[in-house]
Amino acid sequence: MKKSSLILLTLLVNFSLVRAEPVLTLHVEQVFTDTSIDKPIQLCFPSNHPTKILLVLQEGRILILSKDGENKSENVFLDWTDRDIIEKNFEEGLLGLALHPSFQENRLFYVYHTMQNPKRTVVTELRTLNDANQLILDQSYEREIISIRQPYWNHNSGLPCFGPDGYLYLSTGDGGKANDPNRFSQNTFSLLGKILRIDVDSKDSPLEYKIPPGNPFIDAPGFREEIWAIGLRNPWRLSWDYLNGNLFCADVGQHQLEEVNLIHRGGNYGWNDQEGSRPFEFKNSTKNDSGTIKPIFEYSHDLGTSITGGMVYQGQKHRSFIGKYIFGDWGTGRCWVLSMNGESVTTQQFLLNENMIPVNPPQGQSLVQSIAPFKPVNFHEGLDGEIYALDWKGRIYRSL
């Protein structure tokens, strides 16, 4: 394995916080340097194939990486680059993959992706061939689970995940454009700007899924019953802390604040009446913020411009990270680690970017001009407890 680009990431204590923790360090290296990677979105770690890692590329392909070996010949698992999935390749494309909780037995998995003509986002169920030794897509099988019409090319969100309850959670963006002009996020007839929860193991015809019992708006007039929570803008990356049952959701802000939220059943997360904990600057409703759920953590646009949600580390290898939420900012490359006590953040610590440069822009310089060598798009924990970080610019880092 190549060990070029050995990088040291150092966590600094932010002294403005309640409690200082010992300085933590995490050493990482760039891996899979012999694979051509463009706009990586996600890694997936099938537990029945521990030596293989699936790499989702936004362009419409999924590659199989050999965990420890060389990857000189590209092993393509899925290739949809000939399908009409992308008009603008900034936020459209293949946006997430979730293995079924029983993937080992039923071989099912779910991709979340855009489609064109008409513009929409879709969850498609796929499966692998019945071969315990290999990971091969069954080209004969495909089932469209849900399709959501998209008014604009941006804010499609992505990265669905299964909850500990076995249901599929999906985070959808507000449909796009600035300001959520149609107020989809607060419109309970719309599936845009929401967290959805659906049961993909059953069908309630004509749906290709079932509304799980316990969804908060069953039989509520004026509500789509798929809705689990409302008021999100572009919630990139849902992830579970399985130990505490917390569902983390980062929500990308517009001009002011980037949010980390804990998603509660039936909750309203504010957009587009609030951006973070503040009233939205172009708010056009008279609603006050009572009843909306504030972020557990937020940062303003002097630190970042587009939050990338991460994951709570639940492995054993890097013990000082256990139970902490690791995430970053796509715009500036800055990364954070939050320590939690139940549902509260007790400390935040910064991670320097890969060049050991603090990513605060110089005074008077816009963030667009600032140095952002690392564009975090996802964080993962491997089966072996290693921490992975994906750089949208085509690099994958793994802890040592």
Site for Ca ion, rule CB under 5 A: 150, 152, 155-156, 175-176, 269-270
Neighbours of 70 (CB within 10 A): 12
What token pair was written down for 272?
């587009």
Q: Please, what is the minimum distance in Å from the beta carbon of residue 343 to Ca ion? A: 16
Q: Which residues pair with 395 in a beta bridge?
A: 391
Q: Please, what is the minimum distance in Å from the beta carbon of residue 243 to Ca ion? A: 25
Shorter beta-carbon distance to Ca ion: residue 35 or 268: 268
Q: Please, what is the minimum distance in Å from the beta carbon of residue 172 to Ca ion? A: 9
Q: What is the rounded distance in angstroms from the CA atom of residue 161 to the CA atom of residue 171?
A: 9
Q: Please, what is the minimum distance in Å from the beta carbon of residue 302 to Ca ion? A: 19
Shorter beta-carbon distance to Ca ion: residue 150 or 332: 150
Shorter beta-carbon distance to Ca ion: residue 65 or 307: 307
Is the CB of residue 60 less than 8 Å from the CB of residue 43?
no
Phi then psi dihedrals of residue 384, to 5 deg: -90, 10
Q: Please, what is the minimum distance in Å from the beta carbon of residue 300 to Ca ion? A: 14
Q: Please, what is the minimum distance in Å from the beta carbon of residue 24 to Ca ion? A: 29
Q: What is the rounded distance in angstroms from the CA atom of residue 240 to the CA atom of residue 160?
A: 11
Contacts of 205 (CB under 8 A, 6+ apart): none
What are the CA-CA distances from residue 382 to residues 53, 213, 316, 324, 336 (Å)?
Answer: 9, 32, 11, 16, 19
Shorter beta-carbon distance to Ca ion: residue 176 or 304: 176
Shorter beta-carbon distance to Ca ion: residue 66 or 256: 256
The whole-angstrom distance between residue 334's C-alpha and the CA centroid of its chain comes to 16
Q: Residue 387 belongs to what H/E stretch?
A: strand 387-391
Shorter beta-carbon distance to Ca ion: residue 226 or 275: 275
